[in-house]
Amino acid sequence: MRSDIVKKGPERTAHRALLKATGVTDEDMEKPFIGIANAYNDIVPGHMMLDKLTKAVREGICAAGGTPFEFGVMGICDGIAMGHDGMRYALASRELIADTVEAMVEAHKFDGIVMVCSCDKIVPGMLMALFRLNIPAIVVTGGPMLAEKVNGKTVTIKTAFEAAGEFKAGKIDEKELKLYEDFCAPYCGSCQGLYTANTMQLLTETLGLSLPYCSTSPCGSSRKLRIAKMSGVRVMELVKNDIKPSDIVTENSFLNAITMDMLVGGSTNTVLHLPAIAREAGIKLSLDLFDEISRKTPHIVSIDPASEYTIADLDESGGVPMLIKKARKYFSNELTVSGMRIYEIADGAFIRNKDIIADVEKPLHREGGIAILKGNLAEKGCVVKQSAVSDDMMKFEGEAKVYDSEQEALKAILGGEIEEGNVVVIRYMGPKGAPGMPEMLLPTAAISGMGLSKVALITDGRFSGATRGPCIGHVSPEAMVGGTIALVENGDLIEIDIPKRRIELKVEKSELEERKSAWRPPEKELRGYLSRYAKLVGGADEGATLR
């Protein structure tokens, strides 16, 4: 066992003494040491129940003959960090999470690891560490939050963000605004829709790294507790048989994950996270590969923010196994941590309530949920969640309104400066520019709340999975390194053609060259972690990984 390094032989007497200080017995010392990376905290709704799941994991490990050791992992709530400088830390925290788990596991030489995690950067960071370590491992994701209703309609956290714009536009009063504040996030769990957190949980299960139905079983449910306990038992079997992530997850597993992303119309942030995770497994996923799979994969389920259905509705429709069952021909039959292959799991899928998953022969859209656009404004590519764009905005041309920060743009939107036909450009929001590539749900939610249906938004930053409409992010190269987005001026025409995957700044090449010669990057005073991060981080087209 790996853990013998820290507990066997006379030269490890002091090590055993320290272990016994934590309550480890002589009998425990003979068992495999299993780490539990626990992202529990009491500020993130998706994490506030992870302590209960961790307890169930511990019970499973002990029942199967292991000795569990729990350690904490940080987690930022993107929703609370949204709209201020704190959001610069969210994506950057992904690397800290991966490094923390790596350091704890390698320093203490655990024989296996269970990742108990939820929410946007935490799941990707844990998965990066999982492949980097390549020891027997299993993931327990926290599950989705349940939704309630206001005025007869299902409300989610997206509703609360958009309510601010509706209030500013005089569409709702303070009383209704307070209702959304009180009932849009009523339980524990990852926010209800197909935002980044829930998308990454679905893809974790699709990759084969968590047990069946783990991703859609609601937070706080007894089924989630049972899955957590079974995961504790299962990790012991993986340790016994020395089955590592590299024995389970292949390049085809990642192609399956991208396929799932397209089937469900997941968050655009997966285009950052999947390449970063795959890189740790020695696999390269290009932006072009995402678009290639999107072109041939139908979109078969519509979930908030594209509809009023939530992840709980998907769970009642059979979850990931049912999606694979209905779209089997798009998936390869890869192995999972359960010991079963995905076809075998899919064969047992069943529907408990209304089925919201369309048949692949009659899809909601012929193509997948995400599209990669290229052109002189984004030579290396940019990303749009096309499944959340209305048909009349799939092709659009408008005048640029340019802002060098999210706060400037938000002030302009709420102040009535943006008109139908405008293209809002928010730049210097990329991995290096912000730094940290902040999500910008507040401007997109404000545009929607203000009732502006013919306005597009383009940024070298990124969007929340709760964003809907013609919102194009991850523009690469970013403004901070001299990408064309840094050269856009107010009044310039921008053409967006999602079906043709094109995005063009309609300015003569000679004019752009003249602007480029006069351009200088803005100076930003940075310190601490963000200073180091800005120096090391790569482009969004490469997953914003550290060099």
Place of tokens 């194009």: 472
Q: What are phi and psi of 93, to 5 degrees?
A: -70, -20
Q: Tokens in use for 79?
A: 């929703």
Distance (Å, whole) CA 335 – CA 343? 9
Distance between CA atoms of 297 and 320, rounded to whole angstroms? 16
Q: Find the DSSP H helices in 241-385.
A: 245-248, 251-264, 270-280, 287-296, 311-316, 319-326, 342-347
* CA 133 to mean position of chain CA atoms: 21
Taking a C-beta distance cutoff of 8 angstroms, is the pair 204, 190 a contact?
A: no
How many whole angstroms separate alpha carbon 511 and alpha carbon 496? 20
Rounded CA-CA distance 1/361 in Å is 50
Strand order in the sheet with 67-72: 67-72, 33-38, 112-117, 137-141
C-alpha to C-alpha distance for 363 and 178, rounded to whole angstroms? 38
Catalytic residue among 93, 294, 387, 464: 464
The residue to which tokens 């998936």 are assigned:
331
Question: What is the 3-state secondary structure of 503-515?
Answer: EEECCCHHHHHHH
**How many Cα neighbours within 13 Å face the side chain of 422?**
20
* Beta partners for residue 150, in sequence order: 153
Residue (of 457, 461, 427, 486) closest to 539 by Cα position: 461
CA 342 to each of CA 43, 134, 209, 238: distance values in angstroms, whole numbers, following the listed order: 35, 21, 11, 18
User: Which residues are CB-contacts of 361 (< 8 A; sequence separation ≥ 6)?
Assistant: none
Task: Say if CB 97 and CB 129 are below 8 A apart.
Answer: yes
> Is 464 designated active site?
yes
Encoded tokens for 469: 């409409």
Instruction: Yes or no: say if 203 and 270 are a contact pair by the CB < 8 Å rule.
Output: yes
**33-38 and 112-117 as β-strands: parallel, antiparallel, unpaired?**
parallel
DSSP state of 302: -
Sign of CA dihedral 497, 501, 504, 509: negative
Phi-psi region of 491 (alpha: psi -120 to 50; beta: other; left: phi over 0): left
Q: Which two tokens stand for residue 78?
A: 């993107």
- Give the pair of three-digit tokens for residue 416: 């009535």
Separation in Å, CA 126 to CA 25, 245, 262: 29, 13, 23
Distance, in Å, from the CA atom of 39 to the CA atom of 142, rounded to the nearest integer, reads: 10
Q: Which residues are catalytic?
A: 464
